[in-house]
Amino acid sequence: MPDDARGPILLAIARAALDGGEDPAPPLASEHAWLREEGASFVTLRLDGELRGCIGSIDPRRPLWEDVARNARAAAYRDPRFPPVSPEELPRLQVEVSVLSPREPMRVASEAEALAQIRPGVDGIAFEYGASSATFLPQVWESLPAPDEFLEHLRRKAGLPGRFWHPDVRLSRYTVEKYA
């Protein structure tokens, strides 16, 4: 199935999960084998153009349809940055589903090497150091277009100083198929 034909199906799964409220939606029967393959996704919710929730999986752990449904519910009801979505907000939510490619480890020994390898507007980046970790989807480039700023904010999201670097930092990159 062409990638552009997948969008309406994934968005329908996310919307059905939202309409089901906080309780898990029953398994969605599907004739599409690609939905039963393990996949990683993020679901982003916006209300009147403003972020209202965003939760996802960076690595595949369950069938894609289930990952999208669970992440949609989590974005609506369990994103710690926001109160749970109210029934009045549900019909006004804009839903975006991002399906992640497998992560590719980046071989970097310094921040300069990292900045030289990052592809602005293309890469989602996962940052890991000890127990600290964070990720930014490629969509974040829209608001942080400079690679040094992108990396600085990513480190802050991980709970570290914006200019932190250590030889044990691990970076990986991924791309997304985005449907809205």
CATH number, domain at 158?
Answer: 3.30.1490.150
Domain of 135, in residue numbers = 104-175
**Residue 108 and residue 70 in one domain:** no
Please give the Cα distance from 64 to 58 (Å, whole number). 12
Query: Which tokens in the block code for residue 56?
Result: 């996802």
- The H-or-E segment that residue 67 falls in is helix 64-77
Residue 148 lies in a domain: yes
Within a 10 A sphere around the Cβ of 179, how many other Cβ atoms?
20
Pick from 8-17, 27-36, 37-46, 86-95: least confident: 27-36
**Residue 25 and residue 108 in one domain:** no
For residue range 22-81, what is the model confidence (pLDDT) as tens digits?
544 445 546 788 998 999 999 999 999 999 999 999 999 999 999 999 999 999 999 999
Query: Which tokens in the block code for residue 10?
Result: 């994934």
Indicate the pTM of the whole model.
Answer: 0.90
Query: Which tokens in the block code for residue 129?
Result: 């150091």
The candidate with the shortest Cα–Cα distance to 89, out of 29, 47, 36, 136, is: 47
Distance, first Cα to last Cα, the chain: 18
The helix-helix angle for 64-77 and 3-19 (nearest 10°) equals 50
Instruction: Write down the number of H helices and E strands in the chain.
Output: 5, 9
Please give the Cα distance from 77 to 112 (Å, whole number). 39
How many folded domains does the chain comprise?
2
| pLDDT value for 19 | 86
Structural domain ending residue among the three candidates 100, 133, 165:
100
